[in-house]
A and B are shown apart, each in its own frame.
Chain A
């Protein structure tokens, strides 16, 4: 198996990312910051954080290990199994 124990940390990470994309701690808060309700800024910042952590998940190789595959060394551009790339669009 190529899974790493440290990869397991991604499971609670994803759970937290999903759960707090909704700004629950700001329930009922009505402050306006920089022209928008503050809880909208929470959401905007949170989705930015998600994008960053998703990119890290892919880069670290956990994306492949999570499916029981070996991460490609140095490259993410391979075509898996050779079965899918038929050399582009032309007939």
Chain B
């Protein structure tokens, strides 16, 4: 009975989200700009929550509490710093600048923006290709999260692959019918839903444990080291590298970066910027503290299971646990459908159209996009069945890959002297190096290269510095090409 109820709640929630997408589709135009950017008409509340919900994925909702449970509540500090403060600053430095020039030149993708500035189809394709490469593990991460979530919720009655397949099906269906407007609308619903549900969950568990003070006391009795800041896995190197690579990586995520083009007005961006730290804290505080407090409860978390649903299962009724899992799955779905939608625009606009068929009709392009999404999601699903790492590990890999794009892009946005060769070298060399480091742990033919050095410092951080240095250095020694046009990125004052 409870099994049916739990599944009913989860599937019911996903169906409601899909229905909302269909309504959004009814008011959509059939142009590419509407499909991908909702005609650049997204207002503050929707922009805030669509970006917010997109950031919220299995990484935040399951990976975060898992890490807090295993290593201590310091993860709250790492995520709060990177999402609440550093990302907000980048929101202005990268996001607002991109919005200004994007609105003037009608850009839809990052690759398109850079390709136009440097007059280079090759650079455009390179940026799109790199982005799609790192998008793959992140979509896979959502499928892994969903698979694990349903195993936990149903005590294994729904197998891991079943949960992963369910969410894959929903995300393909969703992206195929709704476009950005639908994605943005459901993101708002899901953002509000998750924000409230996670507080209810925390209140429920904390009152069962006898209050916040008692919950913390229990945690400290079981794991005394959780009380002091730092120590264990949380070395300064780990804290700084995670915060920097993830924050910069997030800005280059296709679905986040594309959000920089969709705002209706500057006011929308400004309001979102100022609200960001508070919103982030409101979500992370209860979610991660629940994970940390769980360490002091008698609850045992099975291997490969997520802490959050297990704790809720112990202290709250089955329907509520199902509701939280539904919220988390919805979070994964909104992350994934945004990613797939943006990924498909990168694919059709930056790879297919310039390289394969420049004269493809809009209709054909729309079909190519949808087939691309289905193929991409299915491949990620297959890869997710191998479970190549924990949620945090897989997520970190993707974030770091994207982070390597950030410095060259900032260079291009602010330094008119940046050249095409500088960009290509600054993007390609660190990417190739990082890919080698990542693949070396999977491929048996090469020795495994270290991912961190000197006590938790991520090699990606060094490669980020390299990407900036190469872009600057090579630009200084090369001349701008005929086709490049720095004025494309100039901000005009009206």
Interface residues of A (CB under 8 A from B): 2, 14, 17-18, 21-23, 26-30, 32, 34-37, 39-40, 43-44, 47-48, 50-51, 54-55, 57-58, 63-64, 66-70, 76-81, 83-86, 88-91
Contact = CB atoms under 8 A, between A and B. Distances in A.
A55 B114 CA distance: 31
B37 to A, nearest CB: 10
A83 B233 CA distance: 49
Q: Of residues B86, B216, B275, B277, which shows the largest number of chain A Cβ atoms within 10 Å of its Cβ?
A: B277
21 contacts: A14-B89, A18-B81, A21-B84, A22-B239, A23-B229, A27-B230, A35-B215, A40-B289, A43-B281, A47-B280, A51-B278, A54-B276, A55-B274, A58-B271, A67-B100, A69-B491, A70-B494, A78-B265, A89-B38, A89-B41, A91-B27
A35 B89 contact: no
B459 to A, nearest CB: 21
B363 interface: no
Contact of B229 (A28, A67, A84, A85): A28
Given A23-B77, A50-B88, 12 more contacts: A21-B81, A21-B84, A30-B224, A32-B213, A32-B227, A35-B213, A54-B273, A58-B273, A63-B270, A64-B266, A85-B40, A86-B39
Contact of A27 (B73, B229, B275, B281): B229
Given A18-B89, A68-B493, A86 B220 contact: no
B320 interface: no
B451 interface: no
B487 interface: no
A85 B37 CA distance: 12
Contact of A78 (B40, B227, B266): B266
A83 to B, nearest CB: 5
B97 interface: yes
Q: Can you list the 10 inter-chain pairs with the closest CB atoms, starting with the nearest?
A: A30-B228, A35-B212, A21-B81, A35-B213, A30-B227, A55-B274, A39-B229, A47-B277, A50-B277, A54-B274
A43 B77 contact: yes
A44 B288 CA distance: 13
Nearest to B240: A22
A51 B100 contact: no
A47 B278 contact: yes
A81 B491 CA distance: 11
Interface of B: 27-29, 34, 38-41, 73, 76-78, 80-81, 84-86, 88-89, 92, 96-97, 100, 103-104, 106, 181, 211-213, 215-216, 220, 224, 226-231, 239-240, 243, 263-267, 270-271, 273-278, 280-281, 285, 289, 491-494
B493 A2 contact: yes
A20 B363 CA distance: 51
Contact of A80 (B84, B88, B265): B265
B493 A70 contact: yes
A83 B492 CA distance: 13
Contacts of A2: 493
Contact of B266 (A34, A47, A76): A76
B96 A51 contact: no
A28 B230 contact: yes
A14 B267 CA distance: 20
Nearest to A1: B493
A88 B437 CA distance: 47
Q: Of residues A36, A47, A54, A68, which shows the largest number of chain B Cβ atoms within 10 Å of its Cβ?
A: A47
B493 A43 contact: no
